[in-house]
Amino acid sequence: MASSIVYLMDGKALLAAPSVLDTFYVLEDGYLLQADTEAVYCRTCSDLQPAERIPSLADAEAAFTNEDRYTLKAVRNRKSMAYDAAMTRKRYYEWRFTRKAAPRCLKCGGHDLFVIHDNECCDPISGHSFVFHDCEFYDPCFPISIRLRPDGTVLESNLDPVRYENSGEQ
């Protein structure tokens, strides 16, 4: 599972914040649409958490191409992998076009987030400094599964972030 390790630089804690691979929006018709996540400092929780990563409208529109529109028309009677992929991009574009709410923390639902994206960064409001590392690890014992409404409200989740105490050793 691809994940991020975020160190809170007060020397007390670090968080393994998964780039949750099993996170989906459940659309009104039951269709599951993959949701992207990223590591954030949630000012509502006062904690490190995964949160939604919502693309810009331009990025969502660019992903749903004229080729996809043609594929959906040309092969609508013959379902194929190309048709399914084009339909997924269309559904993603439609969802993004209607989504107005800001990204949410996947633990508390709060919108007051500081995205941890640089190797080292500091939240100007809380004053916390962070060090960010991408890493690859797989932990099949504790899979995280999250289902969201289209507005980002959590329907169901077994999210319980892994927290470690930093002994000061590197």
One digit per residue, the tens of pLDDT, for the chain of length 170 reads 344 445 444 444 444 454 556 788 999 999 999 888 887 888 898 877 888 999 999 999 999 998 898 888 888 777 788 888 999 999 999 999 999 999 999 889 999 998 877 667 777 887 777 776 655 444 444 456 788 899 998 888 877 644 434 444 43
DSSP structure string for the chain = -EEEEEEETTTTEEEEEE--SEEEEE-TTS-EEE--EEEEEETTTTEEEEEE----HHHHHHHS-HHHHHHHHHTTTS--HHHHHHHHHHHHHHHHHH--SPP-BTTT----EEE--SSEEE-TTT--EEEEEEEE---TTS--EEEE-TTS-EEEE----EEEE--S--
pLDDT score, position 142: 45
pLDDT score, position 110: 93
pLDDT score, position 134: 58
